[in-house]
Amino acid sequence: MEAIFLSLFEKGLIHVYTGNGKGKTTSAMGLIVRCVGHEGKVAMVQFMKGWPFYGEIKGLSYLPGVELFRTGSDRCFKKGEHTEVDLREARRGLEIAERCLTDPKYDLVVLDEINVAVHFDLLKVSDVLNLISAKLASIEVVLTGRYAPKEIIEVADLVTEMVEIKHPYQKNVLARKGIEY
């Protein structure tokens, strides 16, 4: 029997959450919670996030209708210091994102840190523009991460820049479990 998908959105829009202040990824996760409350089906594809201790790995697993796809190695690295593994993982994320954005079962697809993957030269801006232009009309997509390129900002319908005014990091408070990860 053929599956029947009841889309939540007639016209899915493109969001970008960028900037150097805290709240980009967690804001996308807030949207996921809201969408799930209307029986929405969600995919979150994470780039450069192979580190296995993020709270959202288990947290999102409690939500029905949410699938999390994690890519990236588990180490931090500076721009220009990526390896073949980082490149391969980013390509894998791109392929997963393509599949999700063309699958009518999803209402919302979050591409977490995809902007950073572009900034770190793991993906090309054109890869992401092609990805977005191929998305199904019914899917809302969120691209998170610092350094969103202007080409992506141009095609987006909603762009929010998180601006750092204060962060406890400035007072040497280290990343805290349940808050930063």
**Residue 46 engages ligand ATP in binding (rule: CB under 6 A):** no
Q: Which of 74, 121, 151, 164 binds ligand ATP (CB under 6 A)?
A: 164
Q: Which of 25, 46, 71, 115 binds ligand ATP (CB under 6 A)?
A: 25
**Residue 77 engages ligand ATP in binding (rule: CB under 6 A):** no
Q: Which of 9, 26, 102, 149 binds ligand ATP (CB under 6 A)?
A: 26
How wide is the angle at C-alpha 15 spanned by C-alphas 6 and 134, nearest 5°? Answer: 60
Cα separation of 130 and 174, whole Å?
38
Q: What does 77 bind: Mg ion, ligand ATP, none (CB cut-off 5 to 8 Å by kind)?
A: none
The residue assigned the tokens 């040497």 is 172
**Residue 181 engages ligand ATP in binding (rule: CB under 6 A):** yes
Closest CB to ligand ATP among residues 40, 145: 145
Question: Quick one: tokens of 85?
Answer: 């593994």
Report yes or no: 175 and 181 within 8 Å, Cβ to Cβ.
yes
**Residue 161 engages ligand ATP in binding (rule: CB under 6 A):** no
Q: Give the shortest CB-20-to-ligand ATP separation in angstroms.
A: 5
Q: Which of 67, 98, 103, 180 binds ligand ATP (CB under 6 A)?
A: 180
Q: Bridge-partner residues for 112, per DSSP?
A: 46
Q: What does 146 bind: ligand ATP, Mg ion, none (CB cut-off 5 to 8 Å by kind)?
A: ligand ATP
Query: Which residues have a Cβ under 8 Å from the Cβ of 25 and sit 6 or more positions away?
Result: 17, 56, 112, 113, 144
The residue assigned the tokens 């890869």 is 127
Closest CA to 112 of 57, 53, 34, 41: 57
Report yes or no: 80 and 93 within 8 Å, Cβ to Cβ.
no
Q: Which of 15, 24, 41, 135 binds ligand ATP (CB under 6 A)?
A: 24
Residues that bind ligand ATP (CB under 6 A): 20-26, 146, 162, 164, 167, 169, 175, 180-181
